[in-house]
Amino acid sequence: MTERQMWEALPHVQGEEKAELLLALCKQATYRNAGDEALALAESAKEIYDSLGGVAANADLAEAYTGIGYSLKQLNRTAEAARTLEKAVEIHRQDHFPFVDDLLRTQAIWYSELGDWESTLRCHLEAVTVNEVDGNQEWLAKSLFNVGVAYGHLNNFPEAILKYKQARDIFKELKMVVAVGMCDENISEAYVELNNGELALEAAKRALDVARTADNQTRIMWSSYNLGKAQVLLKDFEQAESSLASAHFLAQSNENIDFKFLVGVEEEEANLMRLTNRVTAADEIERRLTTIREILG
């Protein structure tokens, strides 16, 4: 049915059939970025399912909560959206819904946008459990990787490294070369945070090998950055300067410059200059970065 046909049919149906039509119309409204309309339709569907009580299937009520959640997200009411999606997850969890991990990952992403990394971690950990049960190795590896990211944001770098390594082992078994490289990239970054230059260097080199072989400029940029930071820790200043310069050049070459990344590279370059007694040059970098930081907030 077209959207127009669904609207024409709506006055002539009742109960679950009407609720299903309302949710279908909610999806259409979401596609049109009509968040207010989508929210009203999803809430109307939920009211119908609530009135039906035990007659309505749990999955249908969960679908209504999901519709409300996505509508709220479209209206930039992310905190409410994440909490609402939790209700859908709870229902699907009880019914052993096969795709509950998708909802958990979505919920985790929304929490991460709010900076709520504890809730992000909780959702990703549950997704790991779901994937362990269903046996989908690729999604298990992706969920483990996501757990590692959450631990990193919580400054629990040893646990982050453990999860990245577990994900890496699975990706390696599946011969997912790029994914293995991403794990090494994040492992390197975590070891830098732990001031372990040797292990950071080792992981960064592996990540750079994959990135260069795939000719992925973004990943080369990040791997060069991590390599440079590891070399600074090891006091290999000449090689560090070369690695950071490569990351700097690639960052500036992007059509859409990631200024946050670029600031990070220049901060590391300024630090390197201070370590090599080039204080005046370091001060000039810091002066420029003050302007950029103010703009970025």
What are the pLDDT digits (tens) for 60-91? 899 999 999 999 999 999 999 999 999 999 99
Binning pLDDT at 50, 70 and 90, where does residue 54 land?
confident
CA distance 175 to 179: 9
Res 96: pLDDT = 77
The alpha carbon of residue 244 and the mean position of all alpha carbons in its chain are separated, in whole angstroms, by: 25
Give yes or no for residue 34 having a pLDDT over 70.
yes
Helices and strands: H and E segment counts in the chain: 15, 0
Structure tokens at 297: 């907030």
180 and 297 part of one domain: yes
CATH code assigned at 12: 1.25.40.10
Distance CA(223)–CA(211), nearest Å, equals: 8
92, 181: one domain:
no
Verify that 294 and 193 share a domain, yes or no. Answer: yes
pLDDT band at 47 (very low <50, low <70, confident <90, very high): very high
| Domain region containing 46 | 1-97
Q: What's the confidence (pLDDT) of residue 98?
A: 76
Average pLDDT over residues 136-151: 97
pLDDT band for position 55 (cuts 50, 70, 90)? low
**Residue 129 per-residue DSSP state:** H
More confident call, 148 vs 2: 148
Instruction: Kindly state whether residues 189 and 76 are assigned to the same domain.
Output: no
Report the C-alpha gap between 111 and 82 in whole angstroms: 7
* Residue 277 three-state SS: coil
133: Cβ contacts below 8 Å, ≥ 6 apart: none
pLDDT attached to residue 210 = 98
- Tell me the percentage of the chain whose pLDDT exceeds 90: 90
In single-letter form, the type of residue at position 255 comes to: E
pLDDT in tens, 155-211: 999 999 999 999 999 999 999 999 999 999 999 999 999 999 999 999 999 999 999
Out of 68, 97, 126, a domain closes at: 97
Q: Return the pLDDT at 160.
A: 98
Last residue of a domain, one of 80, 97, 114: 97
**Based on the structure, what is the number of domains in the chain?**
2
pLDDT for 267 beyond 70: yes
What pLDDT is recorded for position 181?
98
Residue 2 lies in a domain: yes
Residue pLDDT, tens place only, 200-225? 999 999 999 999 999 999 999 999 99
Record the tokens describing residue 285, joined without a space: 């970098």
> Would you say residue 146 lies in a domain?
no
Q: What is the mean pLDDT of residues 266-288?
A: 96
Q: Which of 281, 211, 273, 216 is nearest to 244 (CA)?
A: 273
Looking at the domain assignment, is residue 285 inside a domain? yes
| Domain-embedded: residue 145 | no
Please say whether the beta carbons of 124 and 95 come within 8 A: no
Residue 170 lies in a domain: no
Mean pLDDT (the chain, rounded): 95
| Assigned domain for 224 exists | yes
132 in a structural domain: no
Q: Is residue 260 situated within a structural domain?
A: yes
| End position of a domain, from candidates 49, 74, 97 | 97
> Residue 256: pLDDT above 70?
yes
Q: What is the pLDDT of residue 233?
A: 97
Residues 278, 180: one domain?
yes
How much is the pLDDT for 94? 82
